Amino acid sequence: MVTKNDHIASVNGNSIVDDTFDPVDLTKLAAWWRSGGALGNVVKEKDWENAPTHLNTINSSGKFQFVSRDMLSVRYTGLQLHGNDVGAVQANLPAPTNRVIYYFEMTVKNAGAKGNVAIGFTPTGFKTYRQPGWEPNSCGYHGDDGFLYNGKSSGEKFGPTFTFNDTVGAGINYAMQEFFFTKNGELVGKPIPKEIKGDLFPTVAVHSQNEEVTVNFGNLPFLFNIEAFESEKKKKQEAVIDETPVPGNLSSWIVRSYLLHYGYEDTLNSFETESQSTLPSSNISQESNINDPEETFELHHRMILRKLIREGDIDSAFKRLHEWYPHLLKNEMSTMSFLLHSQKFIEYIRGGMSEDAVKYARMKLVSFFAIKFFETLLQDCISLLAYEDPSTSCVGYLLDTHQRDIVADGVNVMILSGSPNLKSSKGNVCCTLLEKLLKQLTACYIEGRSLNGQQGEVFNLHDILHDTYRIGN
């Protein structure tokens, strides 16, 4: 957090001390500053995770031979003299865990002498001369008897048997921590509680002469509609959430609080005109046991300043601030001064006025290099000068309108910090009820995933909001 001691620097031999309280959390500022550039990478990379592509030719019992160069088919070549001469083979990688569901399929090309084929999941170090499900921390669905084996050599009646030309699948529902199996595109039996922790490898097994199976790790379309299955599971979870009772018109009140906080006065007026049925704030407050934050403080001024900054008119914003809030500009090395001066520099770049940008940087930005925290952010700004087309560079996100919003938000927070009615913790960026709810939502997702051994879909608020918008449109 920013305190008086954090803003002590030396410029031209003179000490600069921030004698005003700065409510902007610098850690959050850095996150906001780079969020424009990082968001695209997060969206692109979040789904990336190593997943199985073929069967493991090294870690095997040797009781089978591969019959395809792509390492997706195996045939049993042993004699099946006892229970320890199974030809089990794991995938080259464990099942990925950063998703809601993982699934793969196996097709029986030859049932062999006895049809002792099986599919399931096994852990690291699994004895591949044993069937999946016979050993602890493994689970398998067997074709000869249709039994499910779940960590012990005795199985339980589970589903139909499977043989030549049948396609069976095995999956993990990380959200519910369950195993599930399919046959010829249909679910089999009931979900099996997944009590196994750690990596699990997709595994197939053959155990009588001439048995042959082929696996599909998603390189071809599955027979089972896994997309529809996952969608159905998500809808069931959403239905439970939708059925949760909430105070009437609470959502309207939350939206109103957001618009008030960020100074969207015109939007707020239009919203309230269209929301004639909204309950009075006092009634909602009593119903939800929440106090109205009373963020009407300097609303009109905050709206004007936000509009000017979003239009890129930083000079006018400075003029208004000097007129209305001169105390906020008293310290020329404050966070707000940095945000406004850096944005003025960026506006020069946006307008193709590089020479003016250089002059402004020498006059207004150089002194901020004396404050270590601003140094890295300033380097991002100055880097814009190095590119013929800065909009396509690695720091091109600074030219987006999102960057103007960051500056407008910072100015808005500074003004709100002077409100006698706004209850905010010293040193923290004031946040709205909506943002608090989103923080709680994020915390719940993270905690839920932690309870599942860090398995399941990685929480991404951007995706949730994007999916909601897409469904609504």
Q: pLDDT tens digits for 20-70? A: 445 555 555 555 565 554 444 444 444 567 899 999 977 666 667 777 888
Backbone Cα Rg of the chain:
31
Q: Are the C-beta atoms of 171 and 163 separated by less than 8 Å?
A: no
The answer to whether residues 76 and 119 belong to one domain is yes
What does each C-alpha distance from 150 to 12, 153, 158 come to in angstroms?
Answer: 73, 8, 11
Tokens (6 digits) for 449:
């995933």
Neighbours of 447 (CB within 10 A): 10
d(CA 383, CA 395): 7
pLDDT exceeds 90 at position 204 = yes
d(CA 63, CA 44): 42
The answer to whether residues 12 and 71 belong to one domain is no
State the average pLDDT for the chain. Answer: 82
Give the count of domains, the chain: 2
> Does 243 map to a domain?
no
The answer to whether residues 320 and 396 belong to one domain is yes
Q: 132 — phi, psi (to 5°)?
A: -60, 130
The answer to whether residues 304 and 412 belong to one domain is yes
The answer to whether residues 255 and 208 belong to one domain is no
Taken in order 272, 273, 275, 279, is the CA torsion positive or negative? positive
d(CA 20, CA 328): 8
Is residue 304 within a helix (H) or strand (E), and if so which, with residue range?
helix 299-310
Q: Which residues pair with 66 in a beta bridge?
A: 74
Residue 61, pLDDT score: 64
3-state secondary structure of 158: coil
The answer to whether residues 177 and 265 belong to one domain is no
Selection from 89, 88, 99, 87 nearest residue 51 by Cα? 99
DSSP state of 365: I
Mean pLDDT of 6-19: 36
Question: pTM for the full model?
Answer: 0.66
The answer to whether residues 202 and 308 belong to one domain is no
The answer to whether residues 296 and 159 belong to one domain is no
Q: Are the C-beta atoms of 159 and 165 separated by less than 8 Å?
A: no
Selection from 243, 257, 258, 245 nearest residue 285 by Cα? 257
Tokens (6 digits) for 471:
């469904």
Tokens (6 digits) for 99:
């998703």
Selection from 186, 206, 203 nearest residue 110 by Cα? 206
Confidence of residue 122 (pLDDT cuts 50, 70, 90): very high
Q: Which domain holds residue 158?
A: 55-216
Q: 192 — phi, psi (to 5°)?
A: -110, 125
β-pairing, 87-91 with 200-206?
Answer: antiparallel
Most confident by average pLDDT, 4-18, 140-154, 236-250, 277-291: 140-154
* pLDDT tens string 425-449: 444 445 777 878 888 887 887 788 8
The answer to whether residues 264 and 347 belong to one domain is yes
d(CA 470, CA 465): 9
* pLDDT tens string 258-314: 888 888 888 888 888 877 655 554 444 444 444 444 567 889 999 999 999 999 999
